[in-house]
Structure 1
Amino acid sequence: MHSGSCLCGAVTFAVADTLPNPNFCHCRMCRKHSGHYFASTDVPRSALTIVGEENVAWFQSSEKIRRGFCSTCGSSLFWDRADRDWIAIAMGAFDGPTRTKANLHIYVGDKGDYYEIADGLLQYDTVPPRN
């Protein structure tokens, strides 16, 4: 079980599953949503419980994607695509150790000019195919 929350605690969540290793998205929208690149892990919807869901505001950032944040404190929490059986959760929102390791970088061509990616992880211009 892994738990987390927004900054003010109005939204809490629990994941009743092992967390997959997080990916780092450098696309323009993720950078605007999070303030930097977006580090998240994709968990099965069935494993996620949200308390205070009435405090989650959703912004439809594209035709297929919506982004969830706390309507009280503004914390970026979720990235969601309704046609998938998983939802992405921001790594910074988890409490305590996640027992994960960084996985890969996506949309690296969109990254900000103020940082370099030098961690040796795989880098993709788009999203790699899922197994």
Structure 2
Amino acid sequence: MHKGSCLCGAVKITVAGELPEADACHCTQCRKQSGHYWASTDVPTSSVSVTGEDHVRWYQSSDKVRRGFCDTCGASLFWDPIHHDKIAIAMGVFDTPTDTKIWSHIFVADKGDYYTIEEGVLQRDT
């Protein structure tokens, strides 16, 4: 079981089971939402419980995806592909240890020019 929260603690998240390896998305939308690149882990929606769900606000960023954040502190929490049984949870919300790591970087062609991606981790343009 893994627990975490937003910055102010209004939203608390529990994930039953292990966290899969994370990916890091460098697309423009994820960079603008998170302030850097977006690192998250995809978990089955059924394994997630949220306390303080009334503080989660959703932004419909495309026809297929909505993004969840705390309405009090603004912390980025979720990337939710609509009509799927998985949800991506920001790695930064979890209390440590997470017992996982980043396994891939996606949309690296869109990455910011102010940082580099470490060697030895899968990188894709999509």
Give the TM-score normalised by structure 1.
Answer: 0.94
1:33-54 residue CA offsets vs partner (Å, 9 max, x unmatched): 1000000000000000000000
1:19-76 residue CA offsets vs partner (Å, 9 max, x unmatched): 0000000000000010000000000000000000000000011111110000000000
Q: Which amino acid aligns with 1:24?
A: A
Q: CA deviation at 1:117?
A: 1.2
Q: Which runs of 4+ in 1 moved over 6 A?
A: none
Equivalent residue for 1:129? Answer: none
Gaps of 5+ in 2: none
2: CA distance between counterparts of 1:101 and 1:29?
Answer: 22
> 2:68 matched to 1:76?
no
2: CA distance between counterparts of 1:81 and 1:65?
Answer: 4
Equivalent residue for 1:92? Answer: 92
**C-alpha RMSD of the superposition:** 0.7
What does 1:46-85 correspond to in 2, within 5 Å? 46-85=46-85
Percent of residue pairs bearing the same amino acid type: 63
Gaps of 5+ in 1: 127-131
Q: Which amino acid aligns with 2:124?
A: Y
Q: Matched residue of 1:46: which SS?
A: helix
Give the TM-score normalised by structure 2.
Answer: 0.98
Q: CA deviation at 1:18?
A: 0.8
